[in-house]
């Protein structure tokens, strides 16, 4: 029973969560030969104000885009 953790910023949409969960599940079904109901995808969502890259917090980096 695979359990996959996705750690990312909490800036994603519900549609993006659904799509990535489906694609991850499909990949495990195809590659590992398990049933879809055996695959669990857990999202660990991080507030961009609580994670930094290169010394700059993600909320600041996202504003620069």
Domain residue spans of the chain: 3-64
- Asked if 48 and 58 count as a contact pair (C-beta separation under 8 A), the reply is yes
What's residue 21's pLDDT? 98
Nearest to 12 by CA among 46, 54, 40, 39: 46
How many alpha carbons lie under 13 Å from residue 23 in its C-beta half-sphere?
A: 7
Could you say which architecture CATH assigns to the domain 3-64?
2-Layer Sandwich (3.30)
Please give the average per-residue pLDDT across 50-62, as a whole number: 96
C-alpha separations of 40 from 2, 5, 19 in Å: 6, 8, 14
What's residue 65's pLDDT? 84
The pair of structure tokens assigned to 41 is 């995808």
Chain segment 24-53, per-residue pLDDT in tens: 999 999 999 999 999 999 999 999 999 999
What's residue 41's pLDDT? 98
């Amino acid at each position: 029973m695979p359990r996959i953790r996705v750690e990312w910023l909490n800036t994603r949409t519900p549609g993006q969560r659904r799509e990535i969960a489906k694609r991850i599940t499909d990949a495990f079904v195809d590659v590992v030969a398990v049933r879809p109901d055996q695959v669990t995808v857990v999202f660990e969502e991080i507030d961009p104000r609580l994670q930094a890259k290169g010394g700059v917090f993600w909320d600041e980096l996202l504003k620069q885009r």
